[in-house]
Amino acid sequence: MSGHAARIPRYELHCHLDGSVRPGTVADLAREQGITLDRPVGELVVAPAHCGSLTTFLTHIDLPLQVLQTPDALTRTARELVEDWERDGVVHGEVRFAPQLHLRHGMTRDEAVRAVAEGLAQGRATTGVSTGLLLCCLRHQSPDESLAVTETALRHRDVVTGLDLAGDERLYGARPHRPAFDLAHRAGLPCTVHAGEAAGPESMWEAIDVLGARRIGHGVRCTSDTALLNRLRTDTIALEMCPTSNVQTGAVPSLSDHPATTLLTDGLPVTISTDTRTTSATTLQREFTSLRKATGWTSRHEALAQENAAQASFSTRSD
């Protein structure tokens, strides 16, 4: 770790478990489970620099999802993520996953949540990194499925710290999932929503006004809407921006076009995360290095982004 990384404690708020499995672990799990890989594991799990769409990007998570269908696999992966956070200078990391995607071999949603929570606990014990766990509802799934995810989250309030809605907002609106988010709000469970990634400002307004999002996943397409910028600033709705991923999915054309630095300078609560450490072959250190090269990012920008992230964290508990 560089001295610079040691000086500024890092907070990662937007990190998907299934997109952050070490390639070697994917290979190990595939071997243990009798899954034959037709290409080197790196080609299967790391997305190209420019995928052109979120849909193409997500195909590189298919294999990790395939091997993450047992409690042991989830526990190992969660533990290793905390270890990776420590190496990256992260003092608090929040990981998210959709338990309903891990039921192919009979595991229940509750078992999936407990398995990830156990891995996080093991990681905390050896690293001292504090963690949060968010569960993801998925836009393309039914409102009933989202309600089941929220109910699962509420059964595990001792380990679950937030709720998310993920998926392609160009193809699927957020409104059908309002009952799940209303339930979360009634129970005091904070919510974030992926928006302003595949679609424009209207998806961010929907996330805020319909689902009550306290944070926005990505939010890079907000710059053209002055009223939205004012709302984000006034209500301190944090933007969980992931520069490398945002370029890969086509949410922004290039790193030099990424709005994070400008928005941060303009007083928006910008935070920086990796999104998917493996799919995007990145770390927070790499994200900051890339921003410095492409957009004039400075140590002051990093310090401010970390302040924003610390304040926007859904939980800094370590128990």
Catalytic residue among 80, 197, 287, 302: 197
Secondary structure letter of residue 132 according to DSSP: E
C-alpha distances (whole Å) from 204 to each of 73, 180, 275 are 34, 18, 18
Question: Can 307 be counted among the known catalytic residues?
Answer: no
Cβ burial of 235 (10 Å; 0-12, 13-18, 19+) is: exposed
- The answer to whether the Cα torsion of 65, 80, 94, 254 is positive or negative is negative
Beta strands in the chain (DSSP E): 10-16, 90-97, 130-138, 162-166, 191-195, 215-218, 238-241, 270-272
Give how far Cα 291 sits from Cα of 129, 254, 261, Å.
25, 11, 8
DSSP state of 102: S
Which residues are designated catalytic?
A: 197
